[in-house]
Amino acid sequence: MSEYSEAPATESPVDPKSTPTYRLGLAAVIGLAVVIVVVLGVMIYGISAGWGHRSPAATTPQAKEPVSMTLAPGYRILSSDTQPGRLILRVRSQTDDEIWVISTDDGRIVARIHGAAPKD
């Protein structure tokens, strides 16, 4: 026999569960499972606590009293315009030209701009 006889190759097989790749994958799966459980818990708590539901006052508009205004004698409306929450009236009397800015929420006059009526 020769001094260098070949011995049978008996390498022990590597356990796949002991590799770094397997451990990293297992840690990722466990981490994501924990995140899913936490998110589901928060969702269940949120549903039971009523998160995301609007209050009834915010969803149903309040019935408003109609606003009634009477022009002073001698005034007439020349034109009207609207902007969000505002009604703008241009009115004229014998002596004045005015622009009225009226709130559509409560009907109060927010601003009055006076000017002299043109001489006809």
The full set of domain ranges for the chain reads: 18-61, 68-116
Hey, CA dihedral for 6, 7, 13, 14, is it positive or negative? negative
pLDDT, mean over the chain: 81
Are 107 and 86 in contact by the 8 Å Cβ rule? The answer is: no
Element (H, E) at 100: strand 96-103
pTM to 2 decimals? 0.43
Query: What integer pLDDT is reported at residue 61 of this predicted model?
Result: 60
- What is the per-residue pLDDT across 4-55, written as a single tens digit (0 to 9) for each? 666 566 677 778 888 889 999 999 999 999 999 999 999 999 888 877 776 6
